[in-house]
């Protein structure tokens, strides 16, 4: 059994969003996306895979399918497969988000 302390894995970099791989298998990707103020993740979609965003620290602006919402520490956001989504840290503090990507096993 392997456990992870997410706060110990958080890393930031000044030039762009930092990505930290936590777990990767044939059926699951889990990682941390770490944003300094002003950094963002471009809008994109995952074909055939759902995504979860869980805010570990800070606040950020999340866009899913053209709708935007600000989320803070402890909040979880679900993104269905093939739906465009992205994140922006428009605040003055750092933002760390755990992401989980998994195939949609139930189909559409």
Sketch out the chain's domains with CATH numbers.
Answer: 6-83+97-103 (2.60.120.10)
Looking at the predicted structure, is the pLDDT value of residue 20 above 80?
yes
Alpha-carbon span 100 to 95, nearest angstrom: 16
In this prediction, residue 23 carries a pLDDT of: 96
Between residues 107 and 96, the one the model is more confident about: 96
In this prediction, residue 61 carries a pLDDT of: 98
The DSSP string of 26-83 is SS-EEEEEEE-TT-EEEEE--TTEEEEEEEEESEEEEEETTEEEEEETT-EEEE-TT-
Between residues 104 and 86, the one the model is more confident about: 86
């Amino acid at each position: 059994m392997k456990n992870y302390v997410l706060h110990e894995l958080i890393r930031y970099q000044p030039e762009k969003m930092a990505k930290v791989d936590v777990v990767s298998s044939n059926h699951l990707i889990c990682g941390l996306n770490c944003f300094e103020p002003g950094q963002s993740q471009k809008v994109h979609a995952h074909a055939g895979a759902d995504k979860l965003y869980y805010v570990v620290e800070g606040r950020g602006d999340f866009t899913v399918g053209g709708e935007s919402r600000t989320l803070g520490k402890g909040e979880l956001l679900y993104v269905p497969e093939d739906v465009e989504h992205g994140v922006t840290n428009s605040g003055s503090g750092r933002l760390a988000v755990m992401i989980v990507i998994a195939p949609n096993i139930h189909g559409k």
